[in-house]
Structure 1
Amino acid sequence: MSNDKPMLASRRAMLKKTAALAAGGATLMVAGPSRASECKPVTPKFDEIYDIIVVGSGFAGMAAAVQAAEDGAKVLVIDKMPVFGGNSTINGGAMAVAGSHLQEKEGVKDSVALMVEDMLAAGRGMNDKKMLELVCDGTAESAKWLEERGTVWKPFVQHFGGHSVPRILQTRESSGAGIIRPLIKVANKKGVTMYTQTELRGFVKNEDGRIVGVQVQSDYFWPKKRSGSPKMYGARKGVIMATGGFGRDIDFRQIQQPSLTDELDSTNHAGATADALKLMMLEGANPVHLDQIQLGPWSSPDEKGFGTASQFNTIATYQNGLVVDVRTGERFFNELADRKARADAIMTRRDDEGKPVYPVGFTNAKGAAQAQTLAWGLKYDVIKKADTLEELAEIYGMPADKLVAQVERWNEAVRTGEDKEFGRPLMQAFELKEGPWYGVRMWPKVHYCMGGVRVNTHSEVLHLVTNKPITGLYAAGEATGGIHGASRLGACAVAEGVVTGRNAAKHAFASNTVELQLA
């Protein structure tokens, strides 16, 4: 009998050690003490239990949370950062919508099929067409859904680069906050539990291999990995990953694109890393298009991050102005081409030593009338004002005669209805006749990750080997890959996030419910 005691103690110690190791891993599984035939999962017990857990609080996350709550689910939203919203709150708040009431009001003829065609062209045919059709088909209904929950759109439709027709709705604030704040307000009213400073550390599976919860670090102070305390939250119906992209994860993005070094700034918030993506990959999720990383062509080297120039260039320069090479004072690309084409063109502006020669985008007062960041850009000297084209040329060191001639050629193109130089669409174009003029230097920044995990039309994450759903795991928004192919069209992130977030919530809510135990 005495010989059995050390063996029992050893077995207990091994069980405790294995359980402790599992708590830091991706799945709560406790191995047996001796033979493999004795290995079996331990029934997990949770600190809190919900129907659906949403990881991330941007467009996709908040749309998923509100949809799930409205369907009747008990919902938890977690975010590792100290505030909700992620990149979505600093996004420009523009949503591509096929068949909106504003298009109808302005006589713009559009269709889901045309939007799909535009996104396929921008994506160089690499898009997941089924998911693409799902997103485009859901834009009109989702835009109305947002309106009903407090989003206010500007009273006009806009024409962004790469889109065949004007189809862009934008929040009154020119910010994604105009979508996130109303959704958070609705979520609170619907009883959604929301935790900031809660970092995902792994997934929890039951004995059937289904994901039934998450391991987190609560009271976590990003980026201090050792901060906080471990907790486990259960999900009776599913976990929805709405964790965004990895634009600020310099090491990981360089693995995909070695040229995207720390010398290239990003518009993303500091927490846009690949940590959650890696955890999904450890569960067997199929990563697609990770090397397709978009550069925003509207940024300025004269400020950090998204800044004031991005909104100004999107609303004013690209739609109503011109972009020129400072050495020639002449255009060198179609200002309404898709983002990849524009960013690639700008990145070619270099001197003999390969250093950037920053192009200048400009428009006049009429063209900048809707640019809400103009005053801030002027205040911080990112945007410069000139009374005449000659003065603008002097500010940026451009040949004045060439610049004036370029504007005259543009005005002639508007009058004739054809841009013979670069084939730019002229539906909303007007002549640039008089000042004052506003200019800004331009250089792309890392903006969006087209790659992520592969999902099906139920927003279920697919396994790399089996191509079957990883049961209990869903993903939406920028965390997924394949929808945009090689390049995302402007204003399609909001469209994708809201539509796929709601789609994930609907399918997760309709899934089987598993019984879970509190600790």
Structure 2
Amino acid sequence: MPKGKKSLAPNPAEPPLVITKTDREAWDDEADAVVVGFGGAGACAALEASANGARVLVLDRFHGGGATAISGGVFYAGGGTHIQSEAGATDDADEMFRYLSLEVKGVVAEETLRDFCDTSVDNLTWLEEHGVPFEASLCPYKTSYPTDDYYLYYSGNEGFSPYKEAAKPAPRGHRAKGAGLPGESFYEPLRASAHRAGIEVEYEARVTRLVIDSRNRVLGVEYRQIKKGFWSSLYRRLNQAGVAIVKYNPKVAAKLRKHCFQIEADHSVLKRVRAINGVVLAAGGFIYNRDMVKEIAPKYRSGMPLGTASDNGSGILLGQSVGGKTDLMDRISAWRFINPPEAFAKGMIINQNGERYINEFMYGAAVGEAMVEHNDGVAILIINGELKKLAREQCKPGKAQWFQRAPALLNLWFNSKEAKTVDELAKVAKVPLETLRKTLDEYNDAADGKMADRFNKGSDRMHAMRNGPYFAINAGIKSKRFPCPTLTLGGLVVDERTGQVKSEDGGVIPGLYAAGRNAVGVCSRQYVSGLSIADCVYSGRRAGGAAARGEMYAAKDAPTPVQSSPIEAKSLEGIPAIHQAQVADPSPEAHQGTSRRPRRDGPYPRQSLNRTIRRPGGATRVSSSQRGRLPKRAP
């Protein structure tokens, strides 16, 4: 940001509001369960909570959907789904478990991963019952994403070593039926089902902070909502336009977001809602909080953010504001997909030393991890004239999705440096000549079947490049012409039985749950297509059901209640400082009149509130008194 210019973006999360005794006048509304975020995880949490008999209120900063609605709509499922069976593919939960064990690498307990696999068939059926469409058309070739002719495919590394030796490969990428990137085909049926179930959803409602008691139990949330009518409609349209254009013109999208921030600041009202049983955080990752990415995972800062403006870390920061523990925050998935066209994958990727470092047919996230974590973000794709001609042929309409063909052709035209000889290739690629010559000779020998490839790439997937011309394409994470999509994988640590957020002191935070990319889950170590959405469904249903039932934790896990002073909000290490908010309500008119939802006595007695106390750490405590009630919050 230019010096002297103040960001219009609001703080993702404010310090918590501490209330020692509850009073109905402190709240504008109440529900059994409050869900923060209405993307894939939030929708699943809300539906499951409602199915368990809870009155549910969902709050979403924009108009729902989140990253799920703009995704490829792929749900990673196995264990013998009816889609797999109809397509002639065999699979079982044990094979799925063995494969994912290699990808997950212990990021969740073995029992949790086993349950994830054992319930996979049921979760697919559950999605179909809510209207999500799938189809049993199996893609016959390996690709990062199939054409609209196919809706079941091998979406991970199942067919490569060492995975194929550990588990029988099976196609588990269940793509929602729809053209192009059918994220909406996956999400919109869930939204419609939530509305049919009577779940109340408030859009254009940004949660600003949590409300807790003196023992750090989460009582509810405070949020700002755009005034309904002209401003909420304009806000929605500006945001939708920004989401649609961000991949093609990030600067224009950023300007549209600024207009949204200004509307939030000038035309919103402050409200509080009480959560009788619990709050579920499902507000997405933090890839769009660029300061946060720079601070926590600077190696990935130059990557292209994949998601929406909702992915600003607000849910994670809300959890941290009350002592929630985080993990794997530096785990970011970088997607260096080069196939299709397959001709690119038949070439070779080298680092700045002129050495290969991976099987080029591996899943894009695996290539991206090797590129960023072990090769300084460098990936130089080497092909020759024969492969370039083949790549152009494979980029014709109907042979790949438009969003795969377009960047491939642009890189062939504008991002490839030509060299007639290996000596010239070393110069244009800026790598050591002798190392490059050795790498190319070994690759050619493996392609001709004279030796085994050191990265287990089959000779049928290689192309000998003994003659020029050669072409070097910059595919590194800093490439401006070959953007590398990135998304965050870490989040709040949760009890894997209930989704309840764990605290830094080893206990749990009563009344607070997390799901999706707000929580550490099955995909937090490594990403394969469909695994994040599958985790959103699994963790969303887990957290929503537990919150509806009021499940907290096993007795042996219960922390000893702190009888001293209320929790003090602290600056979050590695994260930009959070400003202290005012308790006074700048929009008192929003609190006049009665709530739409009838009040009823809950587990907390009615008490009068009359004064606020500023705490040194940034938290705000509202204490009880017999001498009067909390006055109207001043504008």
Structures share a fold, TM > 0.5?
yes
User: Judging changes above 3 Å, is the alpha-carbon distance between structure 1 residues 371 and 202 closer, same or farther for their aligned structure 2 residues?
Assistant: farther
- Which of the residues 406, 418, 440 maps onto 1:397? 418
1:158 aligns with 2:153: yes
Q: 1:94 aligns with which of 67, 74, 78?
A: 74
| Maintained 8 Å contact 2:74/2:173 | yes
Whole-angstrom distance in 1 between the partners of 2:192 and 2:210 = 28
Q: Map 1:40-79 onto structure 2 (within 5 A).
A: 45-79=26-60
* 1:382, distance to aligned residue in structure 2 (A): 2.3
Residue 422 (structure 1) aligned with residue 455 (structure 2) = yes
CA contact (8 A) 1:76 1:194 kept: yes
2-structure distance, mates of 1:247, 1:68: 28
Residue 273 of structure 2 corresponds to which residue in structure 1?
233
Query: 1:287 is matched with which residue?
Result: 326
Retained in 2: the 8 A contact 1:150–1:182? yes
Amino acid at match of 1:54: V
**Helix, strand or coil at the partner of 2:19:** coil
TM-score normalised by length of structure 1: 0.73
Segments of 5+ residues of structure 2 without an aligned counterpart are 1-12, 139-151, 164-168, 228-234, 236-259, 423-436, 464-471, 478-483, 552-600, 608-631
Pair 431,59 (structure 1): closer, same or farther in 2 beyond 3 Å: same
Aligned CA distance change for structure 1 residues 203 and 347 (closer, same or farther; 3 Å): closer
Tell me if 1:188 matches 2:188. no
Contact 1:142–1:499, Cα closer than 8 Å, also in 2: yes
Question: CA shift at 1:238, angstroms?
Answer: 1.6
Match of 2:261 among 220, 223, 229: 223
5 Å-filtered alignment, 1:2-401, equals 25-29=15-19, 45-81=26-62, 83-99=63-79, 100-154=81-135, 155-156=137-138, 157-163=152-158, 164=163, 165=169, 166-173=171-178, 174-205=181-212, 209-219=216-226, 222-224=260-262, 226-227=265-266, 228-261=268-301, 263-298=302-337, 316-317=340-341, 322=346, 324-325=348-349, 333-347=358-372, 358-359=380-381, 373-374=401-402, 378=405, 381-384=406-409, 397=418
Given that residues 299 and 377 in structure 2 are in contact (C-alpha distance below 8 angstroms), is that contact kept between their aligned partners in structure 1?
Answer: no
CA offset digits 1:396-432 (Å, max 9, x no partner):
6376999x9999989988xx9x984532589xx9999
Aligned to 1:310: none
In structure 1, how many angstroms separate the alpha carbons of the residues matched to 2:332 and 2:379? Answer: 22
Compute the displacement of 1:343 (Å).
Answer: 0.8
Distance 1:368 1:167 in 2: 27
Distance (whole Å) between structure 2 residues aligned to residue 130 and residue 219 of structure 1: 43
* Partner SS, residue 83 of structure 2: helix
Residue 190 of structure 1 and its aligned partner are, at CA, apart by: 1.4
Q: CA deviation at 1:347?
A: 4.8
SS at structure 1 position matched to 2:210:
strand
How far, CA to CA, are the matches of 1:254 and 1:290 in structure 2? 12
Q: Where in structure 2 are the equivalents of 1:469-508 lying within 5 Å?
A: 470-508=509-547
Distance 1:48 1:104, change over 3 A: same
Q: How far apart are the structure 2 equivalents of 1:193 and 1:122?
A: 38
CA apart distance, 1:134: 3.1
> Secondary structure of 2:125's match?
helix
Cα distance in 2 for residues equivalent to 1:144 and 1:398:
54
> Aligned partners of 1:233 and 1:419: how far apart in 2?
63
Over 3 Å counting, the alpha-carbon distance change for 1:471 and 1:111 in structure 2 is same
**Structure 2 vs 1, CA of residues 405 and 84 (structure 1 numbering), >3 Å: closer, same or farther?**
farther
More deviation, 499-508/359-368: 359-368
Q: Distance in 2 between matches of 1:335 and 1:419?
A: 15
Q: Aligned in 2, Cα 1:347/1:476: closer, same or farther, shift over 3 Å?
A: closer
Can you give the 5+ residue segments of structure 1 that lack an aligned partner in the other structure? 1-22, 31-39, 299-312, 433-438
Distance 1:455 1:488 in 2: 19
**Cα distance change on mapping 1:286 and 1:59 into 2, 3 Å:** same
Mapped partners of 1:367, 1:411: distance in 2:
23
Q: Contact 1:320–1:430 (CA<8 Å) still a contact in 2?
A: no
Deviates more, 1:48-57 or 1:108-117: 108-117
Amino acid at match of 1:159: Y
Structure 1 position 148, deviation (Å): 2.2
CA distance in 1, matches of 2:114, 2:396: 34
Q: CA deviation at 1:242?
A: 0.7
* Secondary structure of residue in 1 paired with 2:279: strand
* Deviation for aligned residue 1:70: 3.3
Matched-pair identity in %: 21
SS of the aligned residue for 1:285 comes to: coil
Is residue 33–residue 49 contact of structure 2 (8 Å, CA) maintained in 1?
yes
* Conserved 8 A contact 1:211-1:473: yes
User: 2:573: which partner in 1?
Assistant: none
Query: 1:69-118 CA distances to partner (integer Å, 9 max, x unpaired)?
Result: 3333322221112x311111121111211122232234434333333333
Tell me, yes or no, if the aligned pair for 1:128 and 1:482 is still in contact at 8 Å.
Answer: no
Counterparts of 2:373 and 2:506 in 1: how far apart (Å)? Answer: 42
Contact 2:45-2:543 at 8 Å conserved across structures: yes
Q: What is the alpha-carbon distance in structure 2 between the residues aligned to residue 135 and residue 95 of structure 1?
A: 13
Q: Does the C-alpha gap of structure 1 residues 167 and 237 become closer, same or farther in structure 2, counting only changes over 3 Å?
A: same
Task: Give how far 1:481 is off.
Answer: 1.3
Instruction: Report the secondary structure of 1:151's partner residue.
Output: coil
Q: How many angstroms does 1:478 deviate by?
A: 0.9
Partners of 1:319 and 1:147 in 2: CA distance: 37
Match 1:467 to one of 503, 507, 514: 507
Aligned residue identity for 2:95: L
Amino acid aligned to 1:487:
Q
For residue 585 of structure 2, what is the aligned residue in structure 1?
none
Residues 212, 394 of structure 1: alpha-carbon distance in 2 compared, 3 angstrom cutoff: closer
Q: Which moved more, 1:88-97 or 1:212-221?
A: 212-221
Q: 1:132 to 1:64 in 2, by over 3 A?
A: same
How many residues get paired?
450
CA offset digits 1:320-346 (Å, max 9, x no partner): 954534999998632453555311444
Partner of 1:510: 549
The question of whether the paired residues in 2 share the 8 Å contact of 1:322 and 1:331 is answered with no
Cα offset, 1:476, TM superposition: 0.8
